[in-house]
Amino acid sequence: MRSTKRTRKRITMQNDAMKQGDQGYARTADALLRESQFERLVHAIKDYAIYLLDQEGHIVSWNTGAERFKGYAASEIIGRHFSCLYTEEDRNAGLPARALAIASEQGRYEVEGLRVRKDGSQFWASIVIDPVLDDKGVLIGYAKVARDLTEKKAAEQALFESEQRFRLLVHGIRDYAIYMLDPNGYVTDWNVGAKLIHGYHSDEITGRHFSCFYMQEDRDRGEPERSLAIALQQNTFQEEGWRVRKDGSRFWACIVIDPIYSETGKLIGFAKVTRDFTERRRAQEELDRQKDILSHTQKLEAIGRITGGVAHDFNNLLTIISSAADLLGIAGLTAEKRSKYVQIIADTAGRAALLTQQLLAFAREQPLHPEAFDIASRVQGLKHVIEMTVGAGVNVNVALPADLWPIHADASQFETAVLNLVINARDAMSAGGTLDIGARNATSLPSLHRDVGDAGIAGDFVALTIRDTGCGIAPALIDQIFEPFFTTKEVNKGTGLGLSQVYGFAKQSGGEVSVESEVGNGTSFTLYLPCAKAAIRSTTSKAIADTPKTVASTHVLLVEDNELVGEFAQTVLSEVGHYVTWVVDGEAALDVLETQRSRYDLVLSDVVMPGINGIELGKEIRRRWPDLRVVLSSGYSQALVHESDHGFEFLQKPYTLDRLLAVIR
């Protein structure tokens, strides 16, 4: 029995021992499996060299990554000391041993440096060495991980060298101040050009706000802050203006400010480029001054030519008038001759008046009386006069489309302009030729270099073209043909005022005149005049027809500050039976009317007078006594030119007796 029990116990112990043995075997198998998987994982890594060293630094394992970029197969390197991977200089310096010592003492060693491949070539590597300890904490070796950084290091080096070259370039620039600002506008970098232009050394200006370069008044207005704000809003800021150097002197600067952002889009500051344009500005100012001098000289030349032309023509006219007046003083002169000389004086005075009007037309200072009319019918009405003017040797073709828009201009001045262009064409075709007159609707004025300020205006216009087949105009003379008294014709063959009248009329009417010409192939003038609105009609001028000299007596209040004109008007009106009271200014006229309004049927007033002018007087009379007629008279008045006659009847000076009586009618 006792034996049976002992046998059972032994069998049980054997069974327990077998069970325990099976479990230990299972644990060992799992560990081996895990180690095998880890080893396969390590050996599969190709971008990192991962290997083990024993306590002395001999290589005991070698993965695929180590083999790939160090060049050794596992069979060639395992067992060798890892110092063979170092450069000769590092081995002589004891760097391998020191690396293991640091890893053992500090628990980690990390560095970047040059290493050597099997073929002797060097590469830049990132190295990490960790100590490997057993379960009891005893050092049994080292784990070493290395990565080839050659390409990355080369890229970093290239970037560094590029940045260095760029920095040297920027700091070597002397003609431009190039510097950096932080996001708040404080200087962080400063090149040589900035020192030369602004006067500050780098250590003097770095950390200071860039507003110190601005004028005090600009700082007070917040210009520095505004420039940075605009740079942020528009991604750039550019301007020219005065800036201040370190010594307080001013210079004219061209400034560009651009915001600088990081790769993530964060504002890191501003790049500021400044250039000293002081000398260029002075040169431009000197050039402008010379241009002004030249322009002034040209104006003086033109004034001299105008003065000479006016003096020449008026002297001729005055000679005729003076001679006719002398002849009238001869005793016993027959009535026929007396009438002849009077007519000569009257005709010559008319030519003098026409000369004055042409000068005013060129100066755009003549009073115009615009109205809406049709160009086609007006030109057709002139066709007979045109044909008579050019003579039988010139064939006249008038082709005007039926759909032309009506224009708004002074009809009388328009006809004068057309005839002046026709006469100019006739003189260019001394051997005969063809004169073509055509027109078209246009939606803008041409762009002319002669008068840029008036050119290129959009709107509705009618363009009337007069083209001849004459001798043409030399290119060098094109810019002068509209100047008064400039003419290429022979002496006494023209006044040089015809084209001036055309030019002045076109400009004052809100239009333009252009010319195209080729020597030997004729000339084409195109007159552009503004279209009329549907409601525009002639309202500012009253037609004054010739009337008989004997009219019903009228009480006239004459307001004239010129003694000769006032005495003449009073005398001739009195001679034909009118009652005239003559005062010399507007204030006196109002005083007379205040007490004697009922006496007067008409107020005839000059426009240009001391004190209140004729227009102001007329308005005041219209306000106080709206039923009293007012007629304005002037030879020239800026008020009439720029303000119009405000609906008052107008009598142009110089006037004849017939014209004066026609107003009184």
- Which tens digit of pLDDT belongs to each residue from 324-356? 777 787 787 888 888 888 888 887 777 777 666
Mean pLDDT of 74-102: 92
- 581-592 pLDDT, tens digit per residue, is 999 999 999 999
Q: Which of 234, 251, 276 is the last residue of a domain?
A: 276
Looking at the structure, do residues 578 and 616 belong to the same domain, yes or no? yes
pLDDT of residue 359: 58
Which pLDDT band holds residue 164 (cuts at 50, 70, 90)?
low
> Rounded to 5 degrees, what angle do the CA atoms 282, 287, 291 make?
145
Total tally of structural domains belonging to the chain: 5
Structure tokens at 151: 């390409």
Please tell me whether residues 402 and 254 are part of one structural domain: no
Residue 167 within any structural domain of the chain: no
Whole-number pLDDT of residue 545 = 40
Q: What is the mean pLDDT of residues 549-570?
A: 80
Show which of 357, 380, 410 is a domain's final residue.
357
Note whether 369 and 503 are same-domain residues.
yes
pTM above 0.85, yes or no: no
pLDDT tens by residue, 132-143: 988 888 898 999
pLDDT given for residue 166 in this prediction: 57
Does any domain span residue 161?
no
CA distances from 244 to 197, 222, 253, 278 (A): 10, 16, 9, 12
* Residue-by-residue DSSP string for 145-169: EEEE-HHHHHHHHHHHHHHHHHHHH
Residue 219's pLDDT is 92
> Residue 69: inside a domain, yes or no?
yes
Residue 549 lies in a domain: no
Q: Is residue 310 part of a domain?
A: yes
Q: Tell whether 256 and 402 lie within a shared domain.
A: no
pLDDT at residue 14, rounded to an integer:
45
Instruction: Say which CATH number the domain at 564 has.
Output: 3.40.50.2300
| Region of 650 on the Ramachandran plot (φ > 0 left; ψ -120 to 50 alpha; else beta) | beta
Window from 191-205, 361-375, 390-404, 556-570 with minimum mean pLDDT = 361-375
Query: Contact at 8 Å (CB) between 178 and 170?
Result: yes
Say what the pLDDT of residue 18 is. Answer: 43
Is the predicted pLDDT of residue 195 greater than 70, yes or no? yes
Say if residue 35's pLDDT is above 70.
Answer: no
592 Cβ contact partners less than 8 Å away, ≥ 6 residues apart: 557, 581, 583
User: CB neighbours of 289 closer than 8 A, spacing ≥ 6?
Assistant: none
Chain-centroid distance, C-alpha 505: 30
For residues 405 and 371, which has the higher predicted lDDT (pLDDT)? Answer: 405
Do 225 and 181 form a contact (C-beta atoms < 8 A)? no
Least confident of 20-29, 508-517, 518-527: 20-29
End-of-domain residue from the set 326, 357, 388:
357
pLDDT at residue 192 tops 60: yes
Q: Domain residues for 294?
A: 282-357
- Give the SS3 label for residue 260: strand
Q: In terms of domains, do 343 and 481 share one? A: no
Cα–Cα distance, 198 to 195 (Å, whole number): 5
Task: Kindly give the pairing relationship between strand 523-530 and strand 458-468.
Answer: antiparallel
Residues 404 and 484 in one domain: yes
CATH number reported for the structural domain that contains residue 58 in this entry = 3.30.450.20
Q: Which residues contact 392 (CB under 8 A, 6 or more apart)?
A: none
On whether both 385 and 513 belong to a single domain, the answer is: yes
Identity (one letter) of the amino acid at 68?
R
Residue 27 within a domain: no
Same domain? For 388 and 508 the reply is yes
For residue 10, pLDDT beyond 80: no
Q: Is the pLDDT of residue 537 over 70?
A: no
pLDDT at 538 over 60: no
d(CA 133, CA 131): 7
- Say yes or no: 95 and 129 in one domain: yes
Q: What tokens appear for 19 in the block?
A: 């069970």
Round to whole Å and give the CA distance between 283 and 277: 10
pLDDT band at residue 170 using 50, 70 and 90 as cut-offs: low
Assess if residue 635 is contained within a domain: yes
User: Would you say residue 26 lies in a domain?
Assistant: no
Q: Tell me what pLDDT residue 220 has.
A: 93
pLDDT in tens, 486-502: 666 554 445 456 677 78
Q: What is the pLDDT of residue 185?
A: 92
Asked if 249 and 312 sit in the same domain, the reply is: no
CATH number of the domain encompassing residue 334: 1.10.287
**What number is the average pLDDT over the span 285-299?**
72
587 with 654, same domain: the answer is yes
State how far the Cα of 79 lies from the Cα of 190, in Å rounded to an integer: 58
Mean pLDDT of the chain: 79
* Same domain? 411 vs 507: yes
Model confidence at 366, in pLDDT bands (50, 70, 90)?
low
Here the CATH number for the domain that contains residue 486 is 3.30.565.10
- How many other β-carbons are positioned within 10 Å of the β-carbon of residue 111? 12
Predicted pLDDT of residue 641: 45
Residue 388 banded pLDDT, cuts 50, 70, 90: confident
